[in-house]
Chain A
Amino acid sequence: MTRHKQWIAVTLLIASAVFALRLSLVQPALPTVSDQLWAVYFGSGTDSYLVPELRFGMPTINSRLQALVTGPRLKGLKPVFPPGTRVISYQIEGNLILVNFNKALMENHPGGSASELVTVYGLVNTLTEDPSLDYVQILIEGRRVDTIAGHVDVSLPLRRDESSIGAR
């Protein structure tokens, strides 16, 4: 399954929106549709894998981050960030995004490699849905930390991990 085809390929919707806009010149009463389908990754029920939850709208970096912070809407999915987690800021350098979190991401993290992997790759996979981003660097109050909960090495930028997605 290729990354952008499966989940956000409904860019065609945008095309239809453009089409609708053009139509609306003729028939001014027509509304426009500019929603895209985009994915945010949350933890699955018990097997600790990532499951995409689909959203409609215009995905921005901020809306992707906010969706992660707010948590899943579908029942049965698990949040990927511990309570109290806030995003302070982000910075984009080419295909790398640095995301600066408050300390709660680390301090409130429940631990265990299963939940740590879901935290890390819920973030990385959700952000790399954006076609311009390939790498994610986690910062905690500006600091490059070695790890969030003692297992996954997050000292360097992380790549998308397809193997974390879906049921096994």
Chain B
Amino acid sequence: MGKSGLILVFVLSAVLTALLVPSMEVEASFRFYVGSREVDLQESLVVNGNILIPVSVLEHDMGAEVESNLDSGEITIKFPMYTITGKTGTSRVLVNGEEQAMSVAPQLSHGEIMVPLRYIVDLLGLRLNFDPAQAILYVVLTEEMADWIASRYESEPVSLQLPDFLDPDLEFSDVSGIPLLNEVVFLGGSRSRVFIDIQGFPAYKSFLLTNPDRMVIDLTDVDWEEPITEQAIDDPIVKRIRGARFDERTIRLVIELNRATDYQINRWPEGGLEVEFNYQMGDIGYYRDDGQNPRIWFYANEQPVFRVQVLPSPIRLVLDFQNTTLLEGAREIQVGDPPLRAIRISQNSPSVARVVLDLDGPMIPVGVEEIDGRYEIVLFEGTEEEYQAKLALETAEPVELYPVIPTDIEIDDSLPLAHRIITVDPGHGGSDPGTIGNVLGVFEKDVVLPIGLELGRLLEENGAIVVYTRNEDRYVSHFDRAPIANMVNAEVLISIHANSYEGTSAKGVETLYNPLYLENFRFAQTVQTELVSHLGAKDRGVRPRTDLQVLNHTDMPAVLVEVGFVSNPEEEALLNDPDYQVKIAEGLLYGILTFFRNYR
């Protein structure tokens, strides 16, 4: 089976094989597009592997004329080339007077007659696709059909063109045949993963057995071309993997274990099942490190994530290690090192190992370090708030904000920006390099500084009074930048950054703004337009954000301009080029000039 179709196929086949009820229904959960247009499917059903949609969708979104009688269940659906007549409860229909069989009978649900979508789509020569990543089901129209539908609904035209996030060539395979077991592969890793390679989405049942310890997975209505070969495994948990036909309908896989341990089974999107065994947790102990910090150490094949709970009176700190099996059973360690009295360890559930610290005063876990093959949880004696306060004290550097307002300059009153105070904010700086280029290793802080200085020079040429948040390679917290602009009563703040994204393909200019004030949007829109057109760069648009440090505390319109991607090799080279930096500064200047001309 292909990569696609997974959800529906899964839903269907799981329900089908699990229940063996001829027409078990599951409500589907996906978005639905017909050509370019999204259709709100109020109702949809999945019956025996078929998606059923209301006939009203055919009528309102696919150009059909529909006559239906809810009492008798009779329906007539007319498309330009085909007239379909049928009745709920029977899959036999007449198409242009000739008898045909639908894959599943039309049926009544919530006062609507539902028909199988696949049947209609096939009849009309269209294609039905499914994108599992986005959970979107979509009909790819033919030109004739798109024209026909468009002509029927003039107010809401439909076109052939799919939205650009949908791939017209995706394959959607229906439920086809019996899931096939290919092989069982031991993947290993710290959780001794086992992959059961099955084409399709089988129903299964799994359980642990002891004497000898083993895990069993019964796969129902799954076939194999040949029995899987027995494998001996050298692993702390998995000893041997074998499989046999258990009965007519069931293949039983047995994973023999060195010790019984809980597991998780994950379905893979392409089909197949992955078994992951619990982390194994060994000895546990306590000590104070050289800095007198209390630490809990433990042995494990990897650090399991743990859930923290602080319980009052008596004070306890509960650490629940997820997907973890204790190797050495429940026990209690008397510590007697205030505030820690004792540590209690137990298997709280098959998947959770619980470590409880009995305390006389608050204590919280802070970090985990791996030292000499064991893990150590660093604890802080105090509450969460006390810990944050301690950190704040440690890191409090004296804040020196020294915005300099140039006063001794002569300004020609006729200049477009005469006497306007503008804050130019080159991002990052000093110990914070910002993002780093993929190929040349260009630092964001070194690109945005010359752009900012050049912009400042150009602004001054136009009569503005420029205040920089930094005019050298120096660290200024992004939280301190808006206050600088506020202190000098700047009329606008422009923050200059370079962008980065995973991979090398993302590129272009983007301007971020806080949508709380209309002026921010106008400023962003203006700067974005001017910069994109001056550079000829890709326009990624303006982006409203309410969560950016620099933009959230300003008393004046402010934007954060991402002038290009250093993760894109071409743009990295451009951003590193002094001529291009000047060009960016010019683009930003034009944006500011236009903003002041139009809105100030």
Contacts and interface: CB of A to CB of B under 8 A. Distances in A.
Contacts of A74: 132-133, 269
Interface in A7-37: 7-10, 12-13, 16-17, 19-20, 23, 29-33, 35, 37
Interface of B: 6-7, 10-11, 14-15, 17-20, 24, 26-27, 29, 31, 132-135, 163-165, 203-205, 218, 220, 247, 249-250, 264-269, 303, 305-310, 319, 322-323, 364-368, 380, 387-388, 391, 427-428, 432-436, 444, 477-479, 497-503, 505-507, 510, 512, 540-541, 544-545, 547-550, 552, 560, 562, 565-567
Contacts of B391: 143-144
A20 B378 CA distance: 47
A146 B544 CA distance: 20
Given A54-B7, A88-B368, A113-B497, A46 B505 contact: yes
Instruction: Tell me if B's interface is mostly helix, strand, loop or mixed.
Output: mixed
Given A31-B218, A151-B550, A56 B365 contact: no
Contacts of B365: 88-89, 100, 142
Interface in A104-146: 110-115, 117-118, 120, 141-144, 146
B444 A146 contact: no
14 contacts: A1-B31, A7-B135, A13-B15, A37-B7, A37-B11, A46-B501, A53-B269, A54-B6, A54-B133, A88-B305, A112-B501, A114-B562, A141-B366, A147-B549
A91 B444 contact: no
A78 B502 contact: yes
Nearest to B166: A167
A130 to B, nearest CB: 13
A20 B18 contact: yes
Nearest to B132: A54
B305 A62 contact: yes
Nearest to A1: B31
A112 B479 contact: no
B560 to A, nearest CB: 7
Mostly, the A contact residues are mixed
Contact of A90 (B220, B307, B540): B307
Contact of B500 (A62, A112, A147): A112
B15 A16 contact: yes
Interface centre among A19, A37, A152 (most CB of B within 10 A): A37
Contacts of B31: 1, 6
A151 B308 CA distance: 29
Interface of A: 1, 5-10, 12-13, 16-17, 19-20, 23, 29-33, 35, 37, 43, 45-48, 51-58, 60-63, 65-66, 73-74, 77-79, 86-92, 100, 102, 110-115, 117-118, 120, 141-144, 146-147, 149-153, 158, 163, 166-168
A50 B381 CA distance: 39
Contact of A142 (B322, B364, B552): B364
Given A46-B506, A111-B500, 19 more contacts: A31-B205, A31-B220, A33-B15, A35-B10, A54-B269, A88-B306, A88-B365, A100-B366, A111-B444, A112-B435, A113-B499, A114-B565, A115-B502, A142-B366, A143-B388, A150-B428, A150-B549, A151-B560, A153-B548
- Per CB-CB distance, the 4 closest pairs between chain A and chain B, nearest first, are A112-B500, A111-B435, A142-B366, A56-B267
A64 to B, nearest CB: 11
B373 to A, nearest CB: 17
A76 to B, nearest CB: 8
Contact of B380 (A86, A118, A142): A142
Instruction: Determine which residue in A66, A79, A166 has the highest number of CB atoms from chain B within 10 A of its CB, and name it.
Output: A66
B367 A112 contact: no
Given A43-B501, A153-B548, A57 B305 contact: no
Contact of B305 (A6, A56, A79, A87): A87
Nearest to A167: B165
A151 B565 CA distance: 15
A29 B60 CA distance: 45
B133 A53 contact: yes
B547 A33 contact: no
Contacts of B499: 112-114
A114 B74 CA distance: 55
Nearest to A5: B29
A117 B546 CA distance: 12
Given A144-B388, A149-B435, A16 B18 contact: yes
Given A77-B133, A144-B388, A152-B548, A89 B319 contact: yes
Given A91-B307, A151-B549, A152-B549, A57 B267 contact: yes
Among B266, B268, B477, B547, the most chain A Cβ lie within 10 Å of the Cβ of B547
B478 A150 contact: yes
Contacts of A16: 15, 18-19, 24, 26
Contact of B567 (A20, A89, A112): A112
Contact of A52 (B134, B364, B503, B552): B134
A91 B434 contact: no
B311 to A, nearest CB: 12
A21 to B, nearest CB: 10
Contact of B165 (A65, A112, A166): A166
A116 to B, nearest CB: 9
Contacts of B310: 91
Given A54-B135, A91-B309, A102-B367, A115 B550 contact: no
Contact of A112 (B132, B319, B548, B562): B562
B267 A20 contact: no
B270 to A, nearest CB: 8
